[in-house]
Amino acid sequence: MNMTNIANLLHNWILAEPIASLWLGIVAVSLFGVTFAHLTKETGLPWGRGFLVTLAQTLTVVSLIGTCYFLLNSGFKTFSQIYGSFTTGGSVSNRAWQQWRNMYGGGYDQKDLEVVQFVTVESQEVVPPSDPSAAPLYRNVKVEQPVQQNSIIGFRGNVELTAAGGYNNANTFNAYALSADYEYDIVNSSTEETRAEFRFPISPTSKLYQDIVITVNGKQVPWLIAGQAILWEDRLTPGEKQTINIRFHTWGENDFLFEIPEQREITNFSLKLAMNTDNC
């Protein structure tokens, strides 16, 4: 550190605390003036020696005030490092936050149920012959085609976020346990029987889902996990309606989001979000 750095340090301090630095400047100048006058006029000290002694005394006082300021500032920084916000690396709150994230994940992002219905159609496929000069070959193939329809005609969602005690103080993060109960009304509005694929996305940041129950018209259905979603299939007759109930518990922190990922006509949609702060 050279003189330029010290000058920069002083300059930054003046910018950060203009009032305190102004007062310190006034005190230093006054002290210098009074001491110099006292030493040279009343004590009879020569001008040169008086100047040096006054300068030394003034610098000593200013340095002591500066070091005390530095000491208090250092104490504040140390205290902040321990008890500061959860965004301060190494603080108690930050460690709790990291631990929560590692164990239970971050903010919760719930995307809406996706329902895709397919009908099977038979068509002829041209098989390219191995000899280009030969006539083309044909075979019948059955292919599934998605049916364009708005399958979800009603939704009732109840979400309860229970704030986890001990974490959600001022300057700390907001951890919560989440209980969700979603009910969907599904319809096959086409005139043909369809194979319906149901994909219920799970939040990518969540580490643990528990007590997952999925019922269709009151009966539990088996399901699999594929592509970060709970997946099951069913066959729907023309005009058939189903009521799907999805319940689970999970954990998150700071934010909760329910999202309808694709534009569709939203009918009979009701989502209730309750906050339970008993543990706070």
Partner 1 sequence: MLDRIINWFSVEPAVSVLMIATAIVLFGSAFRAYQETAGDFWPWLRRVIEATISAALFIGLLWAFRAILNDNVNTFYSTHGSVSDISRTSAWSIWGRPHTQVELTVSHSHEVEVKEEIPREDPTQPPLYRTVTQQQEVPQNSIVGFAGNVNMRLSERTKGYALYSGYILDVALNYDIVNDSPFKTDAMLTFPLSAGQTLFENFVVEMDDHDISSDLRFATDKVSWMVKMKPHQQSKVVITYSSRGMDYFYYQIPVQREIKNFVLTLNIDRLPVSMLNYPDGVITPTQIQPSEDGRGSILTWKLDRAITVAGMGVALPQPQQPGAQVLRVLVISPYALSLLAAMLALTMLIWGMQVRFMDLALLSAVYSMQFLLMAGISDYFFGFWGALILGAALTLFLSFLLFRKLPSKPLRTIIYILVAFFTVIYPLSGLLTELTQQNAFNMLMQVGLILYITGLSLYASGRKPETNNAA
| Binding residues vs partner 1 (CB under 8 A) | 1-2, 46, 49, 60, 63-64, 67-68, 70-71, 74-75, 78-79, 82, 92, 99, 102-104, 124, 127, 135-141, 202, 207-213, 222-225, 228, 230
Q: Tokens in use for 7?
A: 């000058």
**How would you label 168-191 residue by residue, b for 16+ Cβ within 10 Å and e otherwise?**
beeebbbbbbbbbebbbbbbbbbe
Alpha carbon distance 25, 168 (integer Å): 44
What angle in degrees, to the nearest 10, is found between the helix axes of 3-16 and 18-37? 120
Contacts of 253 (CB under 8 A, 6+ apart): 97, 100, 101, 104, 105, 106, 107, 173, 174, 175, 176
**Shortest distance, position 216 Cβ to partner 1, whole Å:** 16
DSSP H helices, 91-143, are 92-104
**How would you label 117-148 residue by residue, b for 16+ Cβ within 10 Å and e otherwise?**
bbbeeeeeeeeeeeeeeeeeeeeeeeeeeebe
Task: Closer to partner 1 by CB, 159 or 214: give it.
Answer: 214
Task: Closer to partner 1 by CB, 17 or 233: give it.
Answer: 233
Task: Closer to partner 1 by CB, 23 or 138: give it.
Answer: 138
**Shortest distance, position 81 Cβ to partner 1, whole Å:** 9
Task: Closer to partner 1 by CB, 68 or 121: give it.
Answer: 68
Task: Closer to partner 1 by CB, 130 or 148: give it.
Answer: 130
Do residues 193 and 236 make contact, with C-beta atoms less than 8 angstroms apart?
Answer: yes
**Largest separation between any pair of C-alpha atoms in the chain:** 125
Task: Closer to partner 1 by CB, 233 or 255: give it.
Answer: 233
Closest to 10 measured CA to CA, from 57, 54, 62, 61: 62
**Shortest distance, position 48 Cβ to partner 1, whole Å:** 8
Sign of CA dihedral 190, 260, 157, 249: positive
Task: Closer to partner 1 by CB, 42 or 265: give it.
Answer: 42
Do residues 126 and 230 make contact, with C-beta atoms less than 8 angstroms apart?
Answer: no
